[in-house]
Structure 1
Amino acid sequence: MTEGFFPDHTVDSAPAAARRALEGTAAKFGYLPSGAARMAESPEAFEAFLRINATFENTTLDKLARETVIFTVATRNGCELCVALHTGLLTAAGADAELIAALRDQAVLPDARLEAVRRFTLHVLDTSGAVEPDRMREFLGHGFTTRNALEVVLGIGAYTLSTFANRLTDAPVDEPMLAFAWRRQAA
């Protein structure tokens, strides 16, 4: 834990270069998420996350596939804030409760196609991208493309940045997401 080294910025207290992005983030969520408030200490890191995340959101992967990548990275990296926030987003979007529970529990997903995304994401992480041909064939065999494989890597990059920053700054789960709180399982 970082013992309070990182301030909970407001739009007014943040470095000037981060203020506009913080305003947009607060408008999008209806409140200023703690992760954004703390990451804004480095306007460059905050802007980099917003840009890479926007790029990931515009990939050819569908929303549930993207969320599977996000949850896989977030649970693996133990980002309680990300898991709570994305649980709330999926719940609000009407996603299947069994799918959400499996994503949070790092368990086999009830949807074979999304399970292929989860397994592929874990393999990319475990091998630092040196994916074995059988694992690539398995991923492609579920209707994904080589473009999608690179989009998974993009998502891993975006959410490695986010999860590491949230953990470094010790960003707490925000009050609107407390109902979706999640705790990292002891290793």
Structure 2
Amino acid sequence: MSVINVPTREEISPANQALFDNIKKSVGSVPNLYATFAHSEHALGSYLALQGAKSSIMGKAREVVNLVVSQVNGCEYCLAAHTVIGKMHGLSDEQILEVRSGNASFDLKLDALASLVRNLVLERGHADPKVIDAFIAAGWTKANLVDVIVAVGDKTITNYLHAATRVPVDFPPAPKLPE
């Protein structure tokens, strides 16, 4: 059950209305979690700027970050959304489930990324130096490391927003991980 409402276009500021219009134009609708940012005059624009910022972690790699962070944080909304988006980036159902567990045996470079992200989130940023060394050894760079940390922060924001607001999930539910 939601603790706050998902605002409608009529309930938000003109600046946020313009952002809603742009989101709707690009993706067809305004996802509930994005709409929830619009309770704040500035949060939606700030979040969209962060999400759209240039990064060396894009596409499939970005979805690995999003899925691992959301799994560790238990965000049902972001797991649902990024299961859909992960498929759009070429991840299979089986690969998505594996990535959520912090592994990617189908790609050694993505495996090192998934392992790093899981370690970072579980250890609240205090990553094991061996995990960072393995990440670098897999072909990632120091710049990639910094961009991964920014991407973890990005996803943590939405995970926390959903955890606090419990707005309805408007994506197909993500499957449960096998036990």
Normalised by the shorter chain, which TM-score bucket? 0.7 to 0.9
* Residue-pair matches, total: 176
Q: Distance in 1 between matches of 2:88 and 2:132?
A: 32
Q: Distance in 1 between matches of 2:20 and 2:71?
A: 25
Contact 1:7 1:41 in 2 (8 A): no
Counterpart in 2 of 1:15? Answer: 13
Q: So what's the TM-score if we normalise by structure 2?
A: 0.87
Q: Distance in 2 between matches of 1:171 and 1:48?
A: 20
Contact 1:39 1:169 in 2 (8 A): no
Counterpart in 2 of 1:85? Answer: 81
Q: Distance in 2 between matches of 1:25 and 1:159?
A: 18
Let me know the Cα RMSD of the aligned residues: 2.0
Counterpart in 2 of 1:108? Answer: 103
Contact 2:102 2:114 in 1 (8 A): no
Question: Could you list the runs of 5+ residues in structure 2 that have no partner in the other structure?
Answer: none
Q: Distance in 2 between matches of 1:31 and 1:62?
A: 23
Q: Which amino acid aligns with 1:142?
A: A
Deviation digits for residues 149-175 of structure 1 (CA, Å, limit 9, x no counterpart): 00011001111111111221112221x
Runs (4 or more) in structure 1 with deviation over 4 Å come to none
Question: Could you list the runs of 5+ residues in structure 1 that have no partner in the other structure?
Answer: none
Q: So what's the TM-score if we normalise by structure 1?
A: 0.84
Q: Secondary structure at the match of 1:149?
A: helix
Q: Distance in 1 between matches of 2:2 and 2:60?
A: 35
Alignment of 1:65 onto 2:67: no
Contact 2:83 2:174 in 1 (8 A): no
The sequence identity of aligned pairs, in percent, is: 24
Q: Secondary structure at the match of 2:49?
A: helix
Deviation at 1:130, TM superposition (A): 3.1
Which deviates more from structure 2 when the two are superposed, residues 25-34 or residues 144-153?
A: 25-34
Q: Secondary structure at the match of 1:43?
A: coil
